[in-house]
Amino acid sequence: MPDRSNANPKSAALARFRRSHEFWLLAVIGVLVSALSLATDSFLTLQNLFDLLTSNAFTGILASGLLVVLIAGHIDISFTATASVAQYLALTVGIRYGLGWVALFAIAGAIGVLCGLINAVFVTKLRISSIIVSIATLNIFYGLLIFTTGGNYITSLPKFFRDGILWFEHEDASGVPYGLNLQILLLIGSFAVAWLLLNRTNIGRQIYALGGNKDAAQRLGFHVFRINVLVYGYLGFVAGVASIVQAQLAQSVTPTVLVGKELDVLAAVVLGGASLNGGVGTVFGAILGVALLAILQNGLVLVGVSSYWNQWFVGLTILVAVSTTAWSERRRRARGSP
Amino acid sequence: MANFLELEAISKHFGGVIALRNVDLSLAPGEVHCLVGENGSGKSTLIKIIAGVLHPEPGGRIVIEGREYPHLNPVQSTERGIQVIYQDLSLFPNLSVAENIAIASHLGAPRVVNWRAIRATAQAAMERVGAALDPDARVEDLSIAKRQLVAICRAMAADAKLVIMDEPTASLTRHEVDALIRLVADLKRAGICIVFVSHRLDEVMEIAERVTVLRDGAKVGAYPAREMNDKTLATLMTGKAYAYQTSGMCFDAAKTVLSVSHLSRTGQYDDVSLDIRAGEIVGLTGLLGSGRTEFALSLFGMNRPTSGEIRLNGKPLALKTNAQAIEEGIAYVSEDRLNLGLVLEQPISSNILVTVLDKLPSRFGLISEATRQRTARRWIADLAIKAPDPDNAVRTLSGGNQQRVVLAKWMATQPKLLILDSPTVGVDIAAKDGIYDVVRTLAAQGVAILLISDEIPEVFYHAHRVLVMRRGRIAAECVPHESSEEELQAVVDA
Amino acid sequence: MMLRFLRGGAVPMLSLVLLAVVAVFWLLLGDRIAGASAMQSMAFQLPELGILSLAMMVTLLSGGLNLSIIATANLCALAMAYVLTTHVPAAHGFMWGGWQVIAILAGVGVALVVGLINGFVIAYLGVSPILATLGTMTMCKGLSIGLTRGNVISGFPEPIVFLGNGTLAGVPVALLIFLGLCVPIAVLLNKSPFGHKIYMIGSSEKATRYSGVDTKRVLLGIYVLSSLLAVVAALVMMARFNSANAAYGESYLLVTILAAVLGGVDPFGGFGKVGGLVMALILLQVISSAFNLLNFSPFLTVAIWGVLIIGVTAIGVVLEGRGISRR
C-alpha cells in the first residue's frame, strides 16, 4: 500500500486541498461565473444574486441536513415528504391558534424530528437498507398526508407570516429593498449549525467515524442507535425548518409541490463531494454543490434557454460530475497497486 | 510482584457448542505473552471475554490488579487499562491520525471538540511509542505498518496497561516486524503487558516470554518460550505429530512449462527470471513487500509487466486479462480467500463452476441443472470436500474445505500452471496436510506449480526448489533436499 | 413442517399469502373481485408493472438498482409516439406497416443508448448505480420535458393500440407479452452462463472478477437488458393509454421495488427468481384492485405499499436471523 503521508504538515495540507473535491468545484464555479458575467449583464447584479439566494434557500437548508445523513453512511430521500407534513401541520395549527414564528418553527421541527425517528428505527433496529426505507417512508408520509388532507392548499396565511422578516434592510438606487430575509438568514444559519455540529462537537466527529468504519465504531463502544437517531432526527428537524421557509417564500402551503425535489438536493450534496458510502463530505463542499446547481440553472434562464430544458442540464451535470469523480478515484487507486 | 491479570475457570458456551472450558491464564506486569491455537481453539473468545465484549459462564473469575470481577463490560475493561488491537486495526480511514489516536476523547464529555487537547494527546502518544507521523494525515493514505503504529498509539493514549494484539505481523515486512519487536520491548520496560495472538509460530518464538496453547477450547499448557520450537508448538496445538520430508526429485528431463525472462514492472519487481517444469513445485518466498503477489498477478494477466517475457510451453504470452490467462492454462489461487477467492454467500456448486461457465456442455447456450449438479458433485468427490449439500452457501464450510472448493474451481480449468498464493492461511494444521496432498497429486499429473508462501516450513517441505525474493528481485535459490530449514530462513532474513 | 415449506423459497410462501388475501377480499367484495370482469381488468393492468418489475429485478440481482426505468420508458414511448404520429400515413399499406416498425425500432434505439450509458458509467467508470441511474433518470426526464414541454402525444394506429388493449382467446395481448418475457428471462437467469454470472456478481463482484469473469461486460449487459425491458413496458403503456407523456407511471418505481423484494429478491444482490416476482405481482395486483373497488384513495394505497415494503423486508431480516434461507 503506497504511503502518501507527507513529512511537512503545512505543505501536506495545501497539497491535500489542491487534490480535494472542493478545489475543483471552486474552479468550475469560477469558470461558470466568469462565463455567465460575460454572456449576460443580468447575472452579476444585486437583484439576481439576492433572488438566487432566496429561491435556493429551501434546497440549501435541506442540503445541510442531508449532508449529515450521508456522512453517517446512510441515504434518505423521504425528507421532502417530511417537509410537506411538517409544513401543513405546523401552519394549520399555527393559523388556528394564532401562533408566532417561534411556535411555527418549533412545531414543524418537532414533526420533522418524529419522522426522522421513524426512519432511524427502521434502519437501525430492523436493519433494512436505508434507500429502501426512505423510498418506503417517502410514500407512507406523503400518501397519508394527501389522503387525510385531500391535497388542500392553505392560501390565507397570517399577515406577519406573509411579510416575513428583513434584517439590515437597505434600498438600492431604484428603491428596491434588500436585506437578510428569512430565507437567507436560515440558509446561513443552517449551514453554520451543520458546520458546528460536524466539526466542533464530539457527536459530529462520531458521525464521521461511524460513516468511515461502522464495525470499528461498534467495537469501540459507539452508541450506533443514538447516532442514527440524531442524524435522521437532525435531517427531519431541518426539513421542518426548511418547509416553513419555503411556505413563506411561496406565500402558500401546497402539500403536493415539495415531493419530487429530493433528488435535486441529493444531487447537490453528492456534487459537493459527499460519498454514498459515508464518512466523506464537508459543509463547504455542500455549499459549493448547491451553488453550482443554482448558478447553472439561473444561468440557463438568463441566457435564454427555455426552462423546459432545465432538468436535462441538471441531469447532465450530475452524470458528468459523478463520472469524473469515480474515474479519478479509480485512477488514484490504480496508480498504487494492481 | 502480583500479577496484572488472572483468569480462573473461564468457560463459554454458545448454545450447544463449548468454546472454552475451564481456562486459566495469568499475566505478570510487563510480560510478553503469546496465545496460540488453531481456528476454533477459543483464542478469540478468550480475548473477547478479557475485552468485556463477552461474558464467561458463571463460576469464572477475572482478577485485574487484585480486584475481582465475575465478568467485564467494554467500559470497565478499558477503564482498567485493557486495550485490544484487532487484526483489522479498527481505525477510521477517513479521519486523521490525531483523531484516531485520541478517539476515546470523542466518546466522553465535554461535548465540544477540543482540537488542541486532541493534538496534545496524539503528540504525547506518538512520542511514547516513538512514531513520527503527520498528525493531520488521513489514515487511509498510510501504509499498513504506519496504521498499526496509529493503532498502538491509540492504545497508549488510552493509558493501556495490557495491550492485546491479534495477528499483528500478518501484513508487515521484516523491517517492520523488527520495529514492532523493538516497540514491544520498550512497552515491556514501561511495565505494560503484551499479549500476542498469532499463528506465525516462528515470530511467536522471537518475541514471547511465555506461550499459552489452546486446543478445542481447553488450555493445553503454558510454557516458557525458550523451551519451545514451532514443531513442538504445532504438536501441542493439534495433538498430532507432523513429520515432513523434503523431496529429492529431479526435473531435468521434464519439459519446461513456464519460462519467465527478465520480467519487470516498475516499482514492484525487477528482472525476474524463472523456469518451472512439468510436475515441478517451485516455491517463492521472501518478506512482504518483496513483490511476490504483484509478480504472481502479472503471470495471471491482472498486472501488466513493463518489460520482459512470459512463455507457456514455449509460446510467448501477452496477457491483457485474467480470462486470457485462464484460457492459456494459468490458474491463480489468491491469498485472500474470503474476499477474492470465494463468493461466500453463493452455493458451493456455483463457486466451483464459476471459472468454467462458458465451457460447460450446453444446448443452445443453456446449461442444464443436471449438468451443473453432476459436474459440481464430481469435483466435490474428487477433492473430498466435506459438504453435505452442494447448494449450501460456501460460507458454511470450514476454512480447509473452503480452500478445497477454491482448488476445485481452478482444477476445473485444467491448468498447465497453478499459482498458489499463501494457500494454507487460515487453514488448520490438520487440514493443511490435505491441501498439500492435492497439490502433490496435481504435480504428479504434470501441472507446473508455483507455491508462494510466507511460511518457511511450507515452502521448504513442499517445494522442489525455493526462490527467495527480496525487494522485487530474485535474491537466492535453495534446493531443500540439499539444505536445511535454518539455512533457508537465514537467506530470507538476510 | 411449516418451516420446511417456507424454506422452499418465496413462491410457496407467497402462494399461501395470496390464498389468504384472496379469501379475505372475496369475503369483503364477493363477485366484484373474483368475477370474470375483475380478473380481466387485473390482467390488463398487471403487464406494464410486471415488465417494469423485471427491468428493476435484473439490476437488483446484480447488486445494483435502476432508478431510471420509468424515465427511460417514458422517453422511449415519446420517441415511438413521435414517429407514429408524424410519419405513419393514414392509408393502410406497406408504408403504414413499415413506419410502425421503424417507430418501434426508434424506441429500442433510445433504450439501447440509455442502457449503454448506464452500463458504461456503472461498470467501466465505477459510479454507484444509485447515482448513475439518478443521473440518467434526470436526463431522460429532462429530455422528455424539454422536447414536449410536458405535452401529451396521442393517437396511435390500431395495431399498436391492439397491443395494449386487445385480447387473443380472451387473454389480453399485453399479458401474453409479459408472460412471454418472463419465460426467456427466467431461462436466461437460471440456465445461461450470463445469468449465473449475474448472481455471482451480485454477491461479490471482486471475487467473481478474480475468477476470470468479465464482470464489466456482464454489468453493461444487465443495464442494457434493463433498458430493453423498459422499452417493451413503454410500448405496452402507451398502447394502453393511446398516448405518451414525460411523467407517466412515476408511482410505479416504488411498486417495482416492492414487487421484487416481496418476490424474494435480495435488495443487496445475488438472490431472487422470476417465479417469486410473478407471484408477488399477482398478489400486489389483487390488493391494488381490491383497494380500487373499496374506493381507497390512491394516496392511501401508496402509503400502504410503503408499510408493506418495510414489513416484508423486516420479516426477511428476521427469517434470515433464524437461518431460513431466502432461496
- Residues in chain C with CB shorter than 8 Å from the CB of B343 are 200, 203-204, 207-208, 270
The domain tally of chain C equals 1
Q: Is the pLDDT of residue A338 over 60?
A: no
How crowded is the C-beta side of B156, counted as CA atoms within 13 Å?
A: 26
Q: Say yes or no: B154 and B290 in one domain.
A: no
- Cβ distance of A319 and C132 shorter than 8 Å: yes
- Cβ neighbours of residue B370 closer than 8 Å, sequence gap 6 or more: none
Mean pLDDT, rounded, of chain B: 87
Provide the pLDDT for residue C9.
Answer: 65
Touching check for C323 and chain A: CB below 8 Å? Answer: no
pLDDT > 70 fraction of chain B, expressed in percent and rounded = 96
Residue A124 and residue A224 in contact, taking contact as beta carbons nearer than 8 Å: yes
The domain tally of chain B equals 2
A4: nearest CA partner in chain B:
B141
The number of beta carbons lying within 10 Å of the beta carbon of residue A91 is 24
B250 belongs to a structural domain: no
C193: nearest CA partner in chain B:
B357
Range of the domain at A239: 41-336
pLDDT per residue, tens digit, chain C (327 aa), is 455 555 556 677 777 777 788 788 877 777 676 677 777 888 888 999 999 999 999 999 999 999 999 999 999 999 999 999 988 888 888 888 888 999 999 999 999 999 999 999 999 999 999 889 989 999 999 999 999 998 999 989 888 899 888 888 888 999 999 999 999 999 999 999 999 999 999 999 999 999 999 999 999 999 999 999 999 999 999 999 999 999 888 888 888 998 998 888 988 899 999 999 999 999 888 888 888 888 888 899 889 989 988 888 888 777 776 665 444
Q: Say yes or no: B315 and B370 in one domain.
A: yes
A127 belongs to a structural domain: yes
Q: Whole-angstrom Cα distance, residue C50 to residue C175? A: 9
Which of A1, A200, A216 has its CB closest to that of B90? A216
CA C120 to chain centre: 22
pLDDT in tens, B273-323: 999 999 999 999 987 667 888 899 999 999 999 999 999 999 999 999 999
- Cβ distance of B369 and C187 shorter than 8 Å: no
- Cβ distance of A215 and B88 shorter than 8 Å: yes
Mean pLDDT, rounded, of chain A: 87
One-letter amino acid for residue B291 of the chain: G
pLDDT in tens, A271-315: 898 988 889 999 999 999 999 999 999 998 888 888 888 889 888
Task: Give SS3 for B69.
Answer: strand
Range of the domain at C204: 45-248
Provide the pLDDT for residue B289.
Answer: 66
The domain tally of chain A equals 1
The sign one gets for the Cα dihedral B207, B208, B212, B213 is: positive
Provide the pLDDT for residue C326.
Answer: 46
Instruction: Report residue A123: phi and psi, to 5°.
Output: -75, -40
Q: Say yes or no: B296 and B412 in one domain.
A: yes
Higher pLDDT, B452 or B19: B452
CA dist A73 → A70, A130, B89, B277, C63 (Å): 5, 9, 20, 51, 18
- Cβ distance of A126 and C310 shorter than 8 Å: yes
What is the per-residue DSSP string for B439-455?
HHHHHHTT-EEEEE-S-
The sign one gets for the Cα dihedral B471, B92, A275, A34 is: negative
What pLDDT band is residue B431 in, cutting at 50, 70 and 90?
A: confident
pTM: 0.87
Place of cell 451443473: B372
- Cβ distance of B342 and C207 shorter than 8 Å: yes
Provide the pLDDT for residue C107.
Answer: 96
Which of B108, B112, B135 has its CB closest to that of A200? B112
Q: Whole-angstrom Cα distance, residue C239 to residue C242? A: 5
Interface test with B, best of C210, C218, C273 (most B CBs within 10 A): C210
Provide the pLDDT for residue A98.
Answer: 87
> What CATH number has the domain bearing residue B179?
3.40.50.300
Q: Is the pLDDT of residue B171 over 90?
A: no
pLDDT in tens, B235-288: 887 777 767 777 778 888 889 999 999 999 988 899 999 999 999 999 999 876
Interface test with A, best of C128, C131, C262 (most A CBs within 10 A): C131
> What CATH number has the domain bearing residue A245?
1.10.3470
Q: Whole-angstrom Cα distance, residue A81 to residue A143? A: 9
- Cβ distance of A330 and C309 shorter than 8 Å: no
For residue A102, the surrounding DSSP H or E stretch is helix A101-124
Q: Is the pLDDT of residue B159 over 90?
A: no
Calculate how close chain A gets to C163, using CA atoms only, in Å: 31
Calculate how close chain A gets to B156, using CA atoms only, in Å: 15
Q: Say yes or no: B200 and B277 in one domain.
A: no
Q: Whole-angstrom Cα distance, residue C153 to residue C244? A: 5
Written as nine digits, the cell of B222 is: 503454558
Touching check for B336 and chain A: CB below 8 Å? Answer: no
- Residues in chain B with CB shorter than 8 Å from the CB of A338 are 294, 297-298, 302-303
The number of beta carbons lying within 10 Å of the beta carbon of residue C249 is 22
- Cβ neighbours of residue A72 closer than 8 Å, sequence gap 6 or more: A207, A210, A211, A227, A228, A231, A278
CA dist B136 → A208, B94, C305 (Å): 15, 11, 48
Task: Give SS3 for B56.
Answer: coil
How crowded is the C-beta side of C161, counted as CA atoms within 13 Å?
A: 9
Written as nine digits, the cell of A133 is: 426505507
C120: nearest CA partner in chain A:
A323
What pLDDT band is residue A1 in, cutting at 50, 70 and 90?
A: very low
Interface test with C, best of A77, A138, A322 (most C CBs within 10 A): A322
User: Which of B203, B238, B273 is the C-terminal boundary of a domain?
Assistant: B238
* ipTM over 0.90 threshold: no
Q: Say yes or no: B229 and B279 in one domain.
A: no
- Of B56, B52, B62, nearest in space to B27 by CA: B62
Q: Is the pLDDT of residue A173 over 80?
A: no
Strand partners, B32: B194
Q: Say yes or no: B286 and B197 in one domain.
A: no
Q: Whole-angstrom Cα distance, residue B13 to residue B17? A: 6
Range of the domain at B360: 256-493
Mean pLDDT value across residues A91-109: 91
Q: Subunits touching C (CB < 8 Å, at least 3 pairs)?
A: A, B
Virtual CA dihedral for C9, C14, C19, C22, nearest 10 degrees? -170
The number of beta carbons lying within 10 Å of the beta carbon of residue A333 is 11
Touching check for C315 and chain A: CB below 8 Å? Answer: no
A259 belongs to a structural domain: yes
C256 belongs to a structural domain: no
Of all residues in chain A, what percent are helix, strand and coil, respectively (each to 5)?
75, 5, 25
Calculate how close chain C gets to A126, using CA atoms only, in Å: 6
Provide the pLDDT for residue C1.
Answer: 46
Task: Give SS3 for A330.
Answer: helix
pLDDT in tens, A186-227: 999 999 999 999 999 999 999 999 999 988 888 787 888 999
Q: Say yes or no: B294 and B379 in one domain.
A: yes
Task: Give SS3 for B224.
Answer: strand
Q: Say yes or no: B426 and B466 in one domain.
A: yes
DSSP structural state of residue B255: P
Q: Say yes or no: B173 and B273 in one domain.
A: no
Provide the pLDDT for residue C3.
Answer: 53
Q: Which residues of C269-294 are buried (b: 16+ CB within 10 A; e: fewer)?
A: bbbbbbbbbbbbbbbbbbbbbbbbee
C240 belongs to a structural domain: yes
C96 belongs to a structural domain: yes
Which of A1, A205, A213 has its CB closest to that of B90? A213
C149 belongs to a structural domain: yes
C184: nearest CA partner in chain B:
B366
What is the per-residue DSSP string for B346-377?
SBHHHHHHGGGTTTS--BTTB--HHHHHHHHH
Written as nine digits, the cell of B353 is: 463452476
B243 belongs to a structural domain: no
Q: Say yes or no: B324 and B396 in one domain.
A: yes
Written as nine digits, the cell of B488 is: 533457508
